[in-house]
Amino acid sequence: MRDVSPRALPTLVPKGARYALALVALTNAVSLLDRQILAILAPAIKADLHVGDAEMGLLFGTVFALFYALFSIPLGRLADGWVRTRLLSIALAFWSAATALGGLANSFAVLAVSRLGVGIGEAASQPAGTSMIYDYWPKHRRGFVMAVLASAIALGIGGSLALGGLAAEWWDGLAKAGQAPIALRGWQFALIVASLPGFVLALLMWRLREPVRGAMDGIDTAPDPHPFRASGAVFAAVLPGLHWIVFARRRAPRATWAFNFGALALIVAAMVTLTHIANGLSPRPPMTLLGLTFSAHALQWGVIGFGLLVIVNLMQSMRIADPQAFRVMTKSPTLMMAMAVGALQSVLNYGMMAFNPSFIIRYYNQSMAETAWQFGLLAAVMGIVGPLIWGPLSDTLQKRFPGAGRAYVALFAMGLSPILSFWVYLAPTAGDFYLRFVFYSLVLTGWMPPLYAIIYDQVLPRMRGITSSVYLLVMTILGLGIGPYVVGLLSDATGNLRWSMLGINAVGVPIVILMLLIARRAQRDEDGIRERAGATAPATPTA
């Protein structure tokens, strides 16, 4: 690892950077399109497959979350060593095929298999995309870059509602008139349509130029001689069961074994307890998946427990195999707190997003098509406009208030939006709801660009892929994996979806506290990257 004088750091946007940003942004949009489309299709899927809100929350969040989080680790490590354009292209084709499979599903089990396939493919999207685009754009423009990526996410979410709802209703209309060319439900047709853009984008991504890793940060990064071997080693090190073999081969100290077994015992006890509590709150009929019969609550908390053990395994493995990355990440209080903030905010965001269409249909008596084009269009527009305002603003404030500038933008967005949500979701009419949602979403969309910029500025360039994977693992298991399920569970238990959604805003309290702490020390921790890395530490990790 060689440092370059700050005066020598690139400041101009190189040729091809804007095109690369556009492709990565579209990758994010397609990712969210395929991921979120179940939200608008949920009422139709529930009716056809005879499941409740808790099962839909599990399908929307937990089944997807497990595989998304688990595979983000080896794919994030692969993004740190292999050709990222190739990785993104292959991943796009894979998850698009899995989405198309959902269009052929005639049972909850097949749809669940489709969603886990989508999770595996999309696991490469953020680690590889973020790592690559940071090597295309100079450091002082990264708030803008993250704003564009956040806007693309909003485009995908809004597009999923509009495309999913309109395509499903159009096809159901053809079926009722006896004009549908093949026997598909509307929601099945919508999933097939949603899969098509990803195949086109995969071809374009394959032809994109791979940038020089670390050039924009003035840090030379040695090529990884064995990226696939390293990726496989990381996967084995975190996969429950196989990780013990890895511990033995690496002669892990007794303290490592003791901590791992102790963590396993605590996780199992906690998940069993939470399963009993959930069964008491909302008893659900047993479900069958891959020939096994169990309760939806057992599957939910079993997946969460599995994910928590993966997090423990990952950090212990990193401490042994890549001590430099472990030091850089874990000795930055800012990074640890920012990851916690992202996970808490994801509990709120995914919990609300999963049921927004169902809420509008249920409480304002709108049809699927009305909800699709009205709410979908509004969500897309505001999700694009908001980050493009907040991202550049956070760059400007960061120059004036190093470290704290971006943190205060995120604090404003995440502190005010939970309060505004009560004003929005208690609106008496659909018109009032949509009008209030404009102001709410404009504030809410301000959190992602500055927080993500803070996270990735806390590590070395060669660690951005694995850092993204660690963040995705924490955010997905504790955010996406819990948020939709908890809202669905409370809705089934109380019969009141509105207050179940609003109740999730309680996570705003710890978010505000953590963001205040981040604002105080973000710059100090960013300035200490090289000290945490160590002068004699290797520039590339071991396998």
Structure confidence by residue, pLDDT tens digits, 392-442 = 888 888 888 887 888 999 999 999 999 999 999 999 999 999 999 999 989
Question: Token pair of 469, please?
Answer: 């994977």
Residues of the domain holding 395: 10-208+225-533
Asked if residue 279 belongs to a domain, the reply is yes
- Chain centroid to CA 465: 14
State how far the Cα of 504 lies from the Cα of 175, in Å rounded to an integer: 39
In a domain, 2, yes or no: no
- Which residue is it, tokens 């999309």? 122
**Three-state secondary structure call for residue 401:** coil
d(CA 342, CA 234): 24
Gyration radius of the chain's alpha carbons: 22
* Tokens describing residue 428: 């008496």
28 closest CA partner among 180, 154, 131, 145: 154
Assigned domain for 163 exists: yes
Q: Is residue 476 part of a domain?
A: yes
Residue 215 belongs to a domain: no
Position 213 scores a pLDDT of 76
Q: In this structure, is residue 311 part of a structural domain?
A: yes
- In this prediction, residue 229 carries a pLDDT of 87
pLDDT at 383: 77
* Residues 6 or more apart in contact with residue 38 via CB below 8 angstroms: 45, 56, 59, 60, 115
Residue 261 lies in a domain: yes
Residue 342: what pLDDT? 93
At residue 293, what are phi and psi to the nearest 5 degrees?
A: -115, 130
Q: Which of helix, strand or coil describes residue 287? A: strand
Give the chain's end-to-end CA distance (angstroms, integer).
Answer: 18
CA 96 to CA 500: how far, in whole Å?
Answer: 32
- Model pTM greater than 0.95? no
Query: CA-based angle 374:378:381, to the nearest 5?
Result: 140
pLDDT on residue 87: 93
Residue segments in the chain with a per-residue pLDDT below the cut of 50: 1-7, 535-543
Would the CA dihedral through 448, 135, 478, 154 be positive or negative?
positive
Amino acid at residue number 266: L
pLDDT digits 0-9 by tens, 110-152: 888 888 888 899 888 888 888 888 888 777 676 778 778 877 8
Cα 514 to Cα 340: distance, rounded to the nearest angstrom: 8
Q: Output the domain CATH number for residue 193.
A: 1.20.1250.20
> How far is 329 from 318, CA to CA, in rounded Å?
10
Nearest to 363 by CA among 485, 235, 495, 453: 495
Number of domains in the chain: 1
pLDDT score for 198: 92
Q: Measuring CA to CA, how many Å separate 202 from each of 34, 98, 210?
A: 14, 14, 15
Question: Does residue 359 form part of some domain?
Answer: yes
